[in-house]
């Protein structure tokens, strides 16, 4: 009996060992296997963590995000490195700090070609990759599209009369594009980066969310979009095996510390972001993690989950141990920065570090806050906690010790204008380390917020109010060049050219090295037909543009236009050639040759030159040339080719909605081709977009020619009211 018993025991132990080995092997294989389903990185623009119910705020409803949190792991203390969209996403997709990517602002910077983004790292492991973004701030020319096999950053066309159009895409459209890509990808081994612009300002949620505050209403809309996307994944049996990472690029001020939007300040409301990770395996569902984490941790985490190699240039660390339930995670501080004020106004750089308990903010002076006992960061305790202050000072000093701040690349005016409409006011310029701010921190906030309020009024077609706001600002702070330049732009849009010239001159006196002020003054002087002064300002702009080929090209193009008005064809051709030398993409010679032929009445030849210029722009992706489509359209009208003319005039107004002559020509074309209602709509839009004396005079004249004297009289009455009873007179643009 002893031998059979021993035999039975031995067999049992062997069987148990085999079973345990099998279980261990299964667990090891599962732990070491890469995720099998799609990896989705969902970034929501300007989403504050503390405005989500899952982070303790009941002010809005987010059932989809709540459900995602129940299926995943919620990170309580996650931080962005900067409160601006482009540099934040550069860090998010490279795993490197702004000082390492070199992307320090939304304007003047782009991701370098030698940076490796997450899409490229995953493509090396056989992943299909796609990026779908919803903001002009992430347009492909910023370099953020690098490494993606498919990238859709197309914004809607600019619509004349529609404020702020062309800058952002409704999140529903982006979700639809993302779902269509997943449908066509033909593989579950896919990486999708999906960016939603909501709840970025202006906060205008759909009417069905009007019960909430505007910002929270937009969060509710985002939640609806997330819910629809999750529903798609579930319907296609992709949700369970998908790894979904929901986060934000940065937060939103909402008046905390005085900033309504974001970009300037580096406090919790701007930097603390949501981070929810739903693993493919479904383990850890509903767990919350209190460790301090950051944007640069996301790339190594995804690479770790995909079993891809982690290269040594990454600044973060994988969160996979926390996803798997690790109780310990080495503490560290998170670095954040804002150079918004420094690049745009010559004020202090803002740098910040936090360990989750304390935050050090360094601008004009150091501030220390206890986040546990003072989460709103209302009481600076720098003098009360010297040990904590010195500890975080040492950490910050070590992080920035070798930081060589890059200079921004000069931006075309249209880029500056579009970013300003998104809240990034001012023109970037190199940082002067010896500059001393002429105003203190609270005054800096007042200046930027006032500039943003003026921009918002202008975008909402309240131009007189915008001018009034800036008139008050330059009276209080006459040394702010950006305010003077913006006032000049508003005055020029309103047809107040003499005021515009004076404002631009005040700006140029404050920053003599900035070509934009001189060039803007030259354009206003050209419209006033003060040609000698216009040429003088354009030449000063050219001198100031040393090393800035974009501005050099603009200066030469402007000098060519001035020469056209002076009927100096040789000078016009010479300047156009110099413009092409400065910017080989710019077809200035073809445009100027077309203008010369047009002025000589040689319309067929002019059209050939205009077509050549347009073809070059399409091939090279060069910036649009003002009046190019207008003159092509006008030539076609004279040649009695109305359908082609209509196309060109519409294209002109999409690119340059303030072109009054293009609006007038289009209205006349519609009326002559039996479309009086459309003609009237064009004139109404023209007055709404450009409420200038020139526009009112042209509209009244056209209404008269259309046989509608009552509407002409009403237009003249509107003009009188708009000008405060002063007599209106038209100026001629060239």
Q: What whole-number percentage of the chain has pLDDT above 70?
A: 92
Name the residue with tokens 């594009």. Answer: 177
What CA dihedral angle connects 5, 11, 15 and 17, to 10 degrees? 90
Q: Which of 139, 483, 147, 536 is nearest to 344 (CA)?
A: 483
The stretch 406-435 carries a mean pLDDT of: 85
Residue 29 has pLDDT above 90, yes or no: no
Reported confidence tier of residue 164, pLDDT bands at 50, 70, 90? low
Q: Are 122 and 183 in contact (CB under 8 A)?
A: no
Q: How far apart are CA 519 and CA 514, in angstroms?
A: 9
- What's 652-734's CATH class? mainly alpha
User: Which is more confident, 547 or 520?
Assistant: 520
Q: What angle do CA 84, 310, 328 make, to 5 degrees?
A: 80
Structure tokens at 40: 């989705």
β-sheet bridge partners, residue 132:
152, 194
Could you tell me the residue ranges of all domains in the chain? 31-294+312-334, 345-400, 430-544, 652-734
* Span 658-677, average pLDDT: 96
138 exposed, middle or buried (CB, 10 Å; 0-12, 13-18, 19+)?
Answer: buried
pLDDT band at 436 (very low <50, low <70, confident <90, very high): low
Q: Match 């702009």 to its residue by tokens.
A: 541
Give me the pLDDT at residue 21, please: 45
**Distance (Å, rounded) from C-alpha 229 to C-alpha 590?**
48
Mean pLDDT of the region 589-610: 97
Q: What is the pLDDT of residues 608-637, one digit of tens each?
A: 999 999 999 999 988 899 999 999 999 999
What is the structure's pLDDT at 730?
Answer: 39
Residue 239, helix vs strand vs coil: coil
Length of the chain: 734
Is residue 732's pLDDT more than 50?
no
Over residues 175-190, the mean pLDDT reads: 94
Whether residue 5 is predicted with pLDDT greater than 70 in this model: the reply is: no
| Alpha-helix runs per DSSP H in 83-241 | 85-94, 98-101, 118-123, 171-185, 214-235
List pLDDT tens digits, range 80-92.
999 999 999 999 9
Whether the upstream peptide bond of residue 199 has omega within 30° of 0, thus cis, is: yes
Please check whether residue 368 is in contact with residue 392, taking contact to mean a CB–CB distance below 8 angstroms: yes
For the stretch 199-202, contacts whose Cβ atoms lie closer than 8 Å and that sit 24 or more positions apart, written own/partner, are 199/44, 199/45, 199/46, 199/47, 199/252, 200/45, 200/46, 200/85, 200/135, 200/168, 200/252, 200/422, 201/46, 201/252, 201/260, 201/261, 201/422, 201/423, 202/164, 202/456, 202/459
* Separation of alpha carbons 588 and 573, rounded Å: 9
142 Cβ contact partners less than 8 Å away, ≥ 6 residues apart: 86, 109, 110, 111
The encoded tokens of residue 588 equal 């200035």
Cα separations in angstroms, 352 against 45, 338, 343: 21, 9, 17
The whole-number pLDDT of residue 512 equals 86
> 16 falls in which pLDDT band (50, 70, 90)?
very low
pLDDT band at residue 402 under the 50/70/90 scheme: confident
Q: What is the pTM of this model?
A: 0.89
| pLDDT score recorded for residue 7 | 52
Alpha-carbon dihedral 141, 145, 149, 155, rounded to 10 degrees: -70
Instruction: Enter the DSSP assignment of 188.
Output: S
pLDDT of residue 412: 82
Query: Residue 521 pLDDT more than 70?
Result: yes
pLDDT in tens, 349-383: 999 999 999 999 999 899 999 999 999 999 999 99
Task: Answer whether residue 442 shows pLDDT above 80.
Answer: yes
Q: Which residue has the higher pLDDT, 404 or 13?
A: 404
Contact between residue 635 and residue 598 where contact means Cβ atoms under 8 Å apart: yes
Instruction: State the CB neighbour count (10 A cutoff) for residue 321.
Output: 15
CATH topology classification for 345-400 = Arylsulfatase, C-terminal domain (3.30.1120)
User: Do the Cβ atoms of 656 and 681 come closer than 8 Å?
Assistant: no
Q: Are 662 and 733 in contact (CB under 8 A)?
A: no
Q: Which residues contact 169 (CB under 8 A, 6 or more apart)?
A: 134, 135, 154, 155, 156, 197
Q: Which CATH superfamily is domain 430-544 in?
A: Tetratricopeptide repeat domain (1.25.40.10)
Q: Of 641 and 733, which is predicted with more confidence?
A: 641
Provide mean pLDDT across the span 161-181.
Answer: 87
Per-residue confidence band for 540, with pLDDT thresholds at 50, 70 and 90: very high
If you average pLDDT over residues 487-501, what whole number do you get? Answer: 94
Residue 133 has pLDDT above 90, yes or no: yes
pLDDT at 211 over 90: yes
Q: Which residues, other chains included, contact 409 with Cβ-Cβ below 8 Å and sequence gap of 6+?
A: 108, 109, 110
- The pLDDT of residue 4 is 53
Taking each helix axis as running N to C, give the angle between helix 603-620 and helix 588-599, from 0 to 180 degrees, rounded to the nearest 10. Answer: 160
Structure-block tokens of residue 158: 């600019």
> What number of other Cβ atoms are within 10 A of residue 103's Cβ?
28
Whole-number Å distance between alpha carbons of 9 and 17? 12
pLDDT computed for residue 724 by the predictor: 59
Closest CA to 424 of 380, 367, 373, 486: 486
Burial class (CB in 10 A: 0-12, 13-18, 19+), 100: middle
pLDDT grade for 728, boundaries at 50, 70 and 90: very low
Residues facing 79 on adjacent strands: 272, 294
pLDDT digits (tens, 9 = 90+) for 237-269: 999 999 999 999 999 999 999 999 999 999 999
Domain 31-294+312-334 has CATH 3.40.720.10: yes
Q: How far apart are the first and last CA of the chain?
A: 113
Average pLDDT in the 480-497 region? 94
Average pLDDT, the chain: 91
In this predicted structure, which of 267-276, 304-313, 536-545 has the lowest mean pLDDT?
304-313
Half-sphere exposure (Cβ direction) of 290: Cα atoms closer than 13 Å:
4
Give the pLDDT confidence score for residue 411 in this predicted structure: 83
Q: What are the DSSP calls for 110-130, one per residue?
A: ---TT---HHHHHHTTT-EEE
- What pLDDT score was predicted for residue 22? 43
Which of 276-280, 416-420, 558-562, 649-653 has the lowest average pLDDT?
Answer: 416-420
Rounded CA separation 584/604 (Å): 26
What number is the average pLDDT over the span 463-481?
Answer: 95
Contact between residue 360 and residue 368 where contact means Cβ atoms under 8 Å apart: yes
For position 32, what pLDDT does the model report?
A: 52
Tokens (6 digits) for 452: 């943003």
User: For residue 161, what pLDDT band results from cuts at 50, 70 and 90?
Assistant: low
Burial class (CB in 10 A: 0-12, 13-18, 19+), 610: buried
Fold match flag (430-544 vs 652-734)? yes
């Amino acid at each position: 009996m002893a031998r059979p018993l021993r035999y039975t025991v031995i067999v049992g132990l062997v069987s148990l060992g085999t079973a345990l080995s099998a279980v261990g092997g299964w667990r090891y294989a599962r732990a070491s296997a890469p995720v099998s389903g799609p990896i989705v990185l969902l970034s929501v623009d300007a989403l504050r963590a503390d405005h989500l119910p899952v982070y303790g705020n009941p002010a809005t409803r987010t059932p989809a995000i709540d459900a995602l949190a129940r299926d995943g792991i919620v990170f309580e203390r996650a931080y962005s490195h900067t409160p601006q969209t482009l540099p934040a996403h550069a860090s998010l997709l490279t795993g490197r700090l702004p000082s390492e990517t070199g992307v320090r602002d939304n304007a003047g910077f782009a991701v370098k070609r030698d940076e490796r983004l997450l899409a490229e790292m995953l493509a090396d492991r056989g992943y299909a990759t796609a990026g779908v973004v919803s903001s002009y701030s992430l347009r492909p020319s910023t370099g953020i599209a690098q490494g993606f096999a498919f990238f859709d950053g197309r914004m809607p066309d600019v619509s004349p009369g529609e404020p702020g159009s062309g800058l952002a895409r409704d999140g529903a459209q982006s979700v639809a594009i993302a779902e269509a890509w997943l449908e066509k990808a033909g593989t579950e081994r896919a990486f999708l980066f999906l960016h939603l612009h909501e709840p970025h300002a202006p906060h205008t949620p759909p009417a069905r969310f009007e019960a909430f505050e505007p910002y929270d209403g937009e969060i509710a809309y985002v939640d609806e979009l997330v819910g629809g996307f999750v529903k798609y994944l579930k319907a296609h049996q992709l949700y369970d095996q998908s790894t979904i990472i929901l986060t934000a690029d940065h937060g939103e001020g909402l008046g905390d510390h005085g900033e309504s939007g974001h970009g300037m300040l580096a406090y919790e409301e701007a930097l603390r972001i949501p981070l929810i990770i739903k693993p493919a395996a479904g383990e850890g569902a509903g767990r919350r993690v209190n460790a301090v984490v950051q944007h640069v941790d996301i790339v190594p985490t995804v690479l770790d989950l995909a079993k891809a190699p982690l290269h040594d240039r990454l600044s973060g660390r994988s969160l996979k141990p926390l996803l798997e339930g690790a109780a310990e995670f080495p503490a560290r501080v998170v670095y954040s920065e804002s150079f918004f004020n420094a690049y745009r106004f010559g004020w202090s750089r803002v740098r910040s570090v936090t360990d989750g308990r304390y935050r050090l903010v360094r601008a004009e002076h150091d501030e220390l806050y206890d986040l546990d006992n003072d989460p709103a960061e209302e009481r600076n305790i720098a003098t009360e906690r010297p040990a904590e202050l010195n500890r975080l000072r040492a950490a910050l000093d070590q992080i920035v010790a070798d930081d060589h701040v890059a200079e921004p690349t000069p931006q075309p005016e249209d880029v500056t204008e579009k970013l300003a409409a998104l809240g990034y006011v001012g023109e970037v310029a190199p940082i002067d380390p010896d500059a001393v701010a002429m105003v203190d921190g609270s005054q800096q906030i007042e200046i930027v917020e006032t500039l943003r309020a003026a921009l918002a009024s202008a975008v909402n077609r309240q131009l007189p109010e915008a001018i009034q706001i800036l008139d008050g600002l330059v009276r209080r702070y006459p040394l702010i060049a950006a305010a003077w330049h913006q006032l000049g732009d508003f005055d020029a849009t309103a047809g107040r050219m003499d005021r515009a010239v004076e404002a631009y001159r005040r700006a140029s006196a404050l920053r003599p090295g900035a070509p934009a002020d001189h060039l803007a003054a030259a354009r206003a002087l050209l419209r006033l037909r003060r040609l000698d002064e216009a040429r003088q300002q354009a030449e000063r702009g050219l001198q100031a543009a040393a090393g800035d080929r974009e501005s050099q090209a603009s200066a030469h193009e402007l000098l060519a236009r001035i020469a056209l008005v002076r009927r100096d064809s040789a000078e016009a051709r010479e300047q156009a050639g110099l413009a092409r030398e400065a910017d080989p993409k710019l077809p200035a010679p073809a445009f100027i040759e077309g203008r010369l032929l047009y002025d000589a009445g040689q319309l067929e030849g002019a059209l050939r030159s205009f077509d050549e210029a347009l073809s070059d722009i399409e091939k090279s992706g060069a910036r649009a040339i003002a009046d190019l489509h207008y003159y092509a359209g006008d030539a076609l009208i004279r040649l009695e080719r109305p359908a082609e003319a209509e196309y060109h005039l519409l294209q002109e107004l999409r690119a340059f909605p303030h072109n009054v002559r293009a609006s007038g020509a289009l209205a006349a074309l519609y009326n002559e081709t039996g479309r009086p209602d459309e003609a009237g709509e064009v004139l109404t839009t023209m007055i709404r977009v450009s409420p200038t004396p020139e526009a009112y005079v042209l509209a009244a004249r056209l209404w008269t020619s259309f046989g509608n004297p009552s509407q002409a009289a009403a237009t003249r009455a509107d003009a009188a009211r708009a000008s405060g009873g002063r007599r209106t007179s038209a100026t001629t643009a060239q």
